Amino acid sequence: MLPGFNTNIRHRGVLFHVQSEDSGRDHPHIITHLYHGGTILASEKSSYAERVDDPELASVVRELMEQQHKAVLKRLRARDFDDLIGERLGAEVFGDASDTKAETRPSETQPAAGADVTAPSNDPTPPPARPFGEGIVSEKPLDEVILNYLVDNARKRKQRRP
């Protein structure tokens, strides 16, 4: 089982968390969840059962995880989940906000160096490239990652209150 990817992303003013994980050789699938406030809003699951005997299995799984993680982030930015999010969180969830900004972090609550990534804009100069997954791979178990995310959000909400 490989460590997963975790990305906090602000879409249209609302903070979401995208998490991808490998279930291991005994359950050869990758699952990616889109969270808001600890609630799973959407999931994507793909199997790699046909490749479980590949001598380069770790590399294959890492690439599949990366592709699926990126695809969910891209779909969020493209507003593919907006109707579902509106159904689950209420039609007014987005207000008038239209921005999407990724805050890629390791499982700890501290941001990785240079981790903020702004969504593509009409600016002709692209941001500098960095390897996918840099600073977000973690050895921590899923429950600890989720707990850290929830505690971090609770602290932020508490700080915003008067």
- What predicted TM-score, i.e. pTM, was given to this entire model? 0.61
Residue spans of the domains in the chain: they are 5-160
Q: What is the mean pLDDT of residues 69-78?
A: 95
Helix segments in the chain, DSSP class H: 57-77, 82-89, 142-160
Q: What's residue 105's pLDDT?
A: 46
Residue/partner pairs of 26-34 with CB below 8 Å, 24 or more apart: 28/52, 30/61, 30/64, 30/65, 30/68, 32/68, 32/69, 32/71, 32/72, 34/72, 34/76, 34/81
Q: What percent of the chain has pLDDT over 70?
A: 70
pLDDT tens, position by position, 76-92 = 999 999 999 999 988 88
Q: Which two tokens stand for residue 20?
A: 């991808």
Q: Which two tokens stand for residue 98?
A: 């239209």
